[in-house]
Amino acid sequence: MPPPRLPHAAQPDPSFSLLLSLPRELRDRVYQFALVSRAPFWWPGKAPELATIDHRNVNVALLRANKQVYTETVDILYSQNKFLFTHPSDLNIFRVVTPPASTNITSVLFRIREKDLRIWTAYLGSRKEDRSLRHDLPKLRSVWVFLRCGTVSLPPGLQPVPAGAAGVGAAAMTGHVQATHHTLGQLHHSIAQVLGQGGGQLNNMNHIPPPPPPPPQAPAIPFLQFAQGALGGLGGHVPHHHHHPLPPLQAGQHHAPPNLQLLAQQVHQAHVNHQLNIPPPPPPGVPPTIDPHHLYNSFLRFEREIGVESLCLNLRDVLYPGVPDPSFNYGHGKVSSTSSKSTSGSLNNKNNNSKLPTEIKIMAMFRIPRRELERLIATYPGELKVEKSTMDARTKFRKMHGVDVSLELTGYPSLVEMGMEMTGVDMD
């Protein structure tokens, strides 16, 4: 009699997956750990300086496991990672070669060179369906722009005064003031003749005193004050000072001779102020205003032609449609000093607490001599924050037409420093 047959051991089901047996919330945690990177995806390729930032590799091969895993992970791959582009055409091609899930991208970084700024500005502000940021990435929530402004010199308001320049400038201006004394003396005599030839003053010609002697020489002003006045302070437009006419004489004073000496002194002072571009003194009782962001505003006014303002306007028109520009409350073309909290609060109220607006941040990057950077850090410790790893200096973000803008200053060695370094290198 044959022995009884034992039942075979249960064979494992080949379709069973331990990963898929987990709840969806736990699977999403696994997907995020495997697919989300701290460093941005540089497309096309990867930047060499970013190769060592993120030591945890992204396991994109997980998407090839099966159809269910692909469906659950593809949205996480595109929606929770950051992507960096250096040209608008790269972004267009990226949308063509990637799956439709790439429309779920929410965070991008743009690295813009100064020569490509016009192309980027046209692309970012375009409303076309075939080539525009709004059409390519409709679900954006964060846009960072790194604008490489190149190597620049310091704005006039931030340049140091060379040693001995103050004496040279004062001597030159003293000679210029002395050259105007003769012209002012003739002007005094002409004023006396014009006032004496009035309709009711023909009989009082004999009572007009002779022209007074020229006023004493004006003291030499410091060269720094002269340079700031002649250059418009921070590199902006030079203010125009208009001479206001004197008020008409009241009734009963037609025959009273005016004080020609006082009038001549006023004309002389106004003429000197106009030549030196010295602003008029503030009215009494009004304290002088101090710019708390002198460094920030100096660079923006000095580099206005690089197109930062146009870039801000195009981005806010596309990503903030229908939201008014808060900068217009402070005058056209002026940088708003409103804080990020107040502006974001007004935007949230505008959208009725529905979808948060896209975060837009622009980093304007300048290269200046290293010694000048060290001097600016010591002069403006309240405005500049130094990055210890790179020794770059950055300002806080401030609003320009509702867009956050910051400055980054990078120091490079001068020719003198490079020569000193080369002399210390052993060529053997």
Per-residue buried b or exposed e for 179-207, using 16+ beta carbons within 10 Å of the residue's own CB:
ebeeebbebbeebbeeebeeeebeeeeee
Element (H or E) spanning 176, and its range? helix 165-179
**Range 56-64, long-range pairs (CB < 8 A, 24+ positions):** 58/34, 59/34, 59/35, 60/35, 62/31, 62/34, 62/35
pLDDT one-digit tens code per residue, 170-202: 454 555 555 565 666 666 566 656 555 544 444
Which is more confident, 326 or 108?
Answer: 108
**Helix, strand or coil, per DSSP, at residue 210:** coil
Taking the C-alpha atoms of residue 247 and residue 265, their distance in angstroms, rounded to an integer, is 17
Which is more confident, 14 or 131?
Answer: 131
Instruction: Quote the crossing angle between the two packed helices 117-124 and 88-97, to the nearest 10°.
Output: 50
Vertex 23: Cα angle to 18 and 26 (nearest 5): 90
| 283 CB-near residues (< 8 Å, 6+ apart) | none
State how beta strands 403-412 and 359-369 pair: parallel
Rounded to an integer, the average pLDDT of 358-364 is 92
| 29 CB-near residues (< 8 Å, 6+ apart) | none
Computed over every residue of the chain, the mean pLDDT equals 71
When pLDDT is cut at 50, 70 and 90, the band that residue 354 belongs to is very low
- pLDDT at residue 146 is higher than 90: yes
Contact 125, 309 (CB under 8 A): no
Give the pLDDT of residue 305: 53
Which is more confident, 333 or 301?
Answer: 301
**Helix, strand or coil, per DSSP, at residue 203:** helix
Q: Which of 285, 298, 210, 281 is nearest to 241 (CA)?
A: 281
Taking the C-alpha atoms of residue 203 and residue 56, their distance in angstroms, rounded to an integer, is 100
**Range 317-323, long-range pairs (CB < 8 A, 24+ positions):** 317/125, 318/124, 318/125, 318/126, 318/127, 318/132, 318/133, 318/134, 319/134, 319/140, 319/143, 319/357, 319/358, 319/360, 320/347, 320/357, 320/358, 320/402, 322/350, 323/347, 323/350, 323/357, 323/402
Q: How many CB atoms lie within 10 A of CB 309?
A: 18
Q: Which of 204-208, 210-214, 215-219, 414-418 has the lowest mean pLDDT?
A: 204-208
- pLDDT at residue 32 is higher than 90: yes
For 427, phi and psi rounded to 5 degrees?
Answer: -75, -10
Contact 85, 94 (CB under 8 A): yes
Domain ranges of the chain: 158-239+259-276
- pLDDT at residue 22 is higher than 60: yes
When pLDDT is cut at 50, 70 and 90, the band that residue 323 belongs to is confident
When pLDDT is cut at 50, 70 and 90, the band that residue 139 belongs to is very high
Rounded to an integer, the average pLDDT of 240-254 is 52
Taking the C-alpha atoms of residue 179 and residue 32, their distance in angstroms, rounded to an integer, is 78
Which residues is 113 bridged to in the sheet? 148
